[in-house]
Amino acid sequence: MSYILVILFIFSGGGDGETLKSFEMRIPQASYNECKKSAETFELSIPLPGISFKTQTRCEPRPDHQGPEVRDVDT
Protein backbone atom coordinates (compact mmCIF):
# COMPACT_ATOMS: atom_id res chain seq x y z
CA MET A 1 0.00 0.00 0.00
CA SER A 2 1.23 3.50 -0.73
CA TYR A 3 0.87 6.50 1.54
CA ILE A 4 0.48 10.28 1.42
CA LEU A 5 2.73 12.57 3.45
CA VAL A 6 0.47 15.38 4.70
CA ILE A 7 2.26 18.59 5.73
CA LEU A 8 0.10 21.21 7.47
CA PHE A 9 1.42 24.79 7.34
CA ILE A 10 -0.01 27.20 9.93
CA PHE A 11 0.63 30.95 9.88
CA SER A 12 -0.51 32.96 12.90
CA GLY A 13 0.10 36.50 14.07
CA GLY A 14 -0.86 39.31 16.34
CA GLY A 15 -0.60 39.28 20.10
CA ASP A 16 -3.38 36.71 20.45
CA GLY A 17 -1.82 34.15 18.08
CA GLU A 18 -4.85 34.19 15.75
CA THR A 19 -4.51 31.81 12.79
CA LEU A 20 -4.08 33.90 9.66
CA LYS A 21 -3.82 31.12 7.09
CA SER A 22 -3.51 27.35 7.02
CA PHE A 23 -2.91 25.05 4.12
CA GLU A 24 -1.69 21.52 3.59
CA MET A 25 0.48 19.85 1.03
CA ARG A 26 -0.07 16.17 0.18
CA ILE A 27 2.89 14.29 -1.30
CA PRO A 28 2.63 10.64 -2.45
CA GLN A 29 5.12 8.21 -0.85
CA ALA A 30 5.91 4.64 -1.93
CA SER A 31 5.59 3.02 1.52
CA TYR A 32 4.75 3.70 5.15
CA ASN A 33 8.44 3.58 6.12
CA GLU A 34 9.36 6.14 3.44
CA CYS A 35 6.47 8.36 4.53
CA LYS A 36 7.40 8.14 8.21
CA LYS A 37 11.03 8.99 7.46
CA SER A 38 9.97 11.98 5.35
CA ALA A 39 7.59 13.15 8.10
CA GLU A 40 10.29 12.90 10.78
CA THR A 41 12.96 14.70 8.76
CA PHE A 42 10.82 17.44 7.16
CA GLU A 43 12.05 20.87 8.19
CA LEU A 44 11.16 24.34 6.93
CA SER A 45 11.85 27.75 8.40
CA ILE A 46 10.26 30.93 7.08
CA PRO A 47 11.34 34.09 8.95
CA LEU A 48 8.44 36.56 8.73
CA PRO A 49 8.34 39.61 11.03
CA GLY A 50 5.31 39.51 13.36
CA ILE A 51 4.07 36.16 12.00
CA SER A 52 4.51 32.80 13.66
CA PHE A 53 4.95 29.77 11.40
CA LYS A 54 4.77 26.10 12.26
CA THR A 55 4.27 22.77 10.51
CA GLN A 56 2.70 19.44 11.44
CA THR A 57 3.23 16.21 9.51
CA ARG A 58 1.38 12.91 9.33
CA CYS A 59 1.09 9.85 7.07
CA GLU A 60 -2.21 8.63 5.62
CA PRO A 61 -3.04 5.68 3.38
CA ARG A 62 -3.14 6.88 -0.23
CA PRO A 63 -6.43 6.45 -2.10
CA ASP A 64 -6.03 5.06 -5.62
CA HIS A 65 -4.83 7.60 -8.16
CA GLN A 66 -4.45 10.49 -5.67
CA GLY A 67 -1.56 12.68 -6.73
CA PRO A 68 0.23 15.58 -5.07
CA GLU A 69 -1.88 18.61 -4.17
CA VAL A 70 -2.01 21.77 -2.07
CA ARG A 71 -5.27 22.83 -0.42
CA ASP A 72 -6.65 25.42 1.98
CA VAL A 73 -7.82 24.06 5.32
CA ASP A 74 -10.00 25.45 8.08
CA THR A 75 -8.49 25.08 11.53
| Whole-number pLDDT of residue 58 | 95
What does pTM read for this prediction?
0.78
Residue 5 CB neighbour total at 10 angstroms? 22
b/e sequence 34-47, b meaning 16+ C-beta within 10 Å:
ebbebbeeeeeeee
Can you give 1-37 as a three-state secondary structure string?
A: CCEEEEEEEEEEECCCCEEEEEEEEEEEECCHHHHHH
Query: What's the pLDDT tens digit per position in 10-49?
Result: 888 866 667 778 899 999 999 999 999 999 999 888 887 8
| Whole-number pLDDT of residue 29 | 93
Q: Rounded distance, CA 20 to CA 56, Å?
A: 16
